Amino acid sequence: MLFVGNAKNCLIHPNILLAKYPANLLIQNPVSKELPSKKEHVGKLGYSYRRKIHERFIESILFLSALLSVVIMMAIIVMLVKESVVFFKHVSIWEFLTDTQWTPLFDDAHYGILPLVAGTVVSSVVALLVALPLGTIIAIYLSEFAPFAVREVAKPFLELLGGIPTVVYGYFALLFVTPLLQMIFPELPGFSLLSAGLVMGIMIIPYVSSMTEDAMRAVPMQLREGSYAMGATRFQTAIRVVTPAAFSGIAAAYILGISRAVGETMVVAIAAGMQPNLTWNPMEPAATITAYIVQVSLGDLPHGSVGYQTIFAAGLTLLLITLIFNIIGHQLRKRYREIY
C-alpha cells in the first residue's frame, strides 16, 4: 500500500481538506496539521493514495449523474429550439401567434397556434374549476377536521387515485362521463372539452389536495392553539388562521396544478377529439397543444418535413407555459418552507 507521507504527495493540501471537511472526518490527527511521517504510518489504517483516488473517482461518477439533470434540461431546450427555428424560417412568428387557423397538414396550410391554445385554456379551466375547490376542501378537511383513522385511510387512497394511468382516465371520460353528460345536455357531441376537463379535474384533485395539505401541516401547532384559546371554532381556525398562514404553499399547489392541467395529454386526446377548433365553448370538441402532438405522431410524417417541425414548435410553446408556472410555483413553495 502506498501511503501519503507528507503534504507534498497529498492530492490536496491538508489545510484545504480541513477547510472542506469537518476535522473529525479525516483519519489523520486533526489537531496537528502536520501529517505523520511515512515510517510512522506504515502498517496502520491510513490515509492512502489509492483510497483517495478511489474516493475521487466515485465522487466524480456521482457528480456526473447529478449533472445529467442539467444535461437533460438543456437537451430538451436545444432540441425544441433547434427544430422550431427551422419551423419559424418557414412560418413567421407573427403568423404563428395571430392566425386563427391551425391546419398544417392540409394543402391550404395555416399555422396559427391560437386554436390549440384556446383548447388548452378551456379544458384546463374546466379541470381547475373541479380540482381547485374540491382539492382545497379535501385538504382542509383532512388536515383540520378529519379524525386520525379517516386521514390514514383517505391519504393513501387519494395517492392511488393519482397513480391511475391517464389513458385509463381518457377511456373513462369518453365511455362513462360523456354518455352521463349527454343525459343532462342532449346536444353534447361525442367528443367535448367539457367531459375531458371534468375528468382531468378529478385526476388533478389528489395532486392539489396533497400539496395543499402539506402546506397546512407545515403551519405550526401554536397558531392553532392560540386561535382555539381565543375561542375560535375549528372552522374559524381553518379559514382565518391556517389558510392565510399556508397561503404561499396553497398558491404553489394551485399553480403546479395548473401546469399539470396544461400539460395533460391522453385524456384530452381521447375524449376531446383531435380537431383544432378555435372556440371558448367547453361543449364543443377541440384539440389542445398536447392532443395535436399526439395526432401528428400517430400519422406517418417524414423526419424533417414542416409537419414534423410543427410538433416541436407546439412543444416549445407548451414547455414555456409550464416552465413559467413551475418556476412561480416553486418560488412560492420555497417561501412557505422558509417561513416556519
Partner 1 sequence: MKFIKNKSGFLDRTKGANELIDLRKTISNHKRWDLLFMITGIIALMIAILTFIALFAQMLIDGMPRLSWDFFTSFPSRRPESAGILSAWVGTTLVMLVTAVSAVPLGVGAGVYLEEYAPKNLFTEIIEINVTNLAGVPSIIYGLLALGLFVYQLGFGQSILAAGMALALLILPVVIVATREAIRSIPIAIREGAYALGATKWQTVSDHLLPYSSAGILTGIIIGLARAIGETAPIITIGALTFIAFLPPSPVTNEFPFISFEWLTAPFTVMPIQMFNWVSRPEEAFQLNAAAAGLVLVVMTLTMNGLAIYLRYRMRKNIKW
Whole-angstrom Cα distance, residue 7 to residue 37?
10
281 to 37, 278, 307, 321: CA distances (angstroms):
82, 9, 27, 22
CB distance 233 to 251 below 8 Å: no
Tell me which stretch binds partner 1 (CB under 8 A): 5-13, 111-119, 228-236, 242-250. Answer: 228-236
Considering only CA atoms, which of 325, 132, 335 is closest in space to residue 249?
335
Comparing CB distances to partner 1, the nearer of 219 and 316 is: 316
CB distance 175 to 220 below 8 Å: no
Length of the chain: 340
**Whose grid coordinates read 449523474?**
65
Considering only CA atoms, which of 300, 302, 276 is closest in space to residue 287?
276
Which DSSP helix (H) or strand (E) runs through 302?
Answer: none
Comparing CB distances to partner 1, the nearer of 94 and 149 is: 149
Comparing CB distances to partner 1, the nearer of 11 and 62 is: 62
Shortest reach from residue 323's CB to partner 1, in Å = 7
**Whose grid coordinates read 396544461?**
262
Q: Does 330 bind partner 1 (CB under 8 A)?
A: yes
Whole-angstrom Cα distance, residue 90 to residue 310?
10
Q: Exactly one of 17, 200, 266, 272 binds partner 1 (CB under 8 A); which one?
A: 266
Shortest reach from residue 62's CB to partner 1, in Å = 4
Comparing CB distances to partner 1, the nearer of 53 and 281 is: 53
CB distance 260 to 120 below 8 Å: no
Shortest reach from residue 176's CB to partner 1, in Å = 5
Residues 106-145 that bind partner 1 (CB under 8 A): 134, 137-138, 140-142, 145
Residues 65-104 that bind partner 1 (CB under 8 A): 65-70, 72-73, 75-76, 79-80, 82-83
Site string for partner 1, 16-55 (x = CB under 8 A): ----x---xx-x-----------------x-----x--xx
Q: Exactly one of 87, 102, 111, 312 binds partner 1 (CB under 8 A); which one?
A: 312
Residues 153-212 that bind partner 1 (CB under 8 A): 154, 156-161, 163-172, 174-176, 202, 205-206
Q: Exactly one of 264, 276, 284, 310 binds partner 1 (CB under 8 A); which one?
A: 264
Whole-angstrom Cα distance, residue 10 to residue 46?
13
Comparing CB distances to partner 1, the nearer of 70 and 184 is: 70
Q: Exactly one of 7, 19, 61, 85 binds partner 1 (CB under 8 A); which one?
A: 61
Is residue 177 classed as helix, strand or coil in its secondary structure?
A: helix
The angle that helices 193-217 and 247-263 make with each other, rounded to 10 degrees, is 150
Q: Exactly one of 103, 294, 335, 337 binds partner 1 (CB under 8 A); which one?
A: 294
Long-range contacts of 153-157 (CB under 8 A, 24+ apart): 155/210, 155/213
Whole-angstrom Cα distance, residue 128 to residue 60?
44
Tell me which stretch binds partner 1 (CB under 8 A): 10-18, 98-106, 213-221, 307-315. Answer: 307-315
Shortest reach from residue 103's CB to partner 1, in Å = 21
Q: Where are the alpha helices (DSSP H) in 264-305?
A: 266-271, 289-298
Residues 234-263 that bind partner 1 (CB under 8 A): 234-236, 238, 256, 259-260, 262-263
Tell me which stretch binds partner 1 (CB under 8 A): 10-18, 105-113, 149-157, 243-251. Answer: 149-157
